[in-house]
Amino acid sequence: MTTYLPKELSDGLHEARKLAMAKASRLRVEADGLKFSVLRHWSTGFSVDAEGAPHLRGLVDLYEGPKRIAQCLIVAAAEEDGEMRYEFKRATASRDTAPLDFQQDEEAPVALIDKA
């Protein structure tokens, strides 16, 4: 028995898979004011839909919902199966506070109690 799907059906299934991946992912990438939904994300890169994505290169911001999680330096790696894949040259995690330029004592007081 052979499994043969007509081209239209195969293309429809492929588009449905990409749409489901985009909806499931909360990640998006922003570059030069343009936003793209991330289809897949791994430790060394990510992929977006190849149809609407240019060959991004340089500094981009990676968001999870409204929160920026990383600032990344990327390069376009390959286009396969309707996905444009990008690799990180550098990915710096975002922080809510500024980094300290000194070592903080673990037993330092947290607050000052005033005698009233």
Q: pLDDT tens per residue, the chain (116 residues)? A: 567 777 787 777 767 776 665 566 689 999 888 888 888 889 999 998 888 777 888 999 999 988 999 999 999 888 888 889 999 999 998 888 877 788 888 888 888 888 76
Give the CA angle between residues 91, 97, 99 to the nearest 5°.
70
Rounded CA gap, 64 and 51, in Å?
Answer: 22
Domains and CATH numbers, the chain: 13-93 (2.40.10.430)
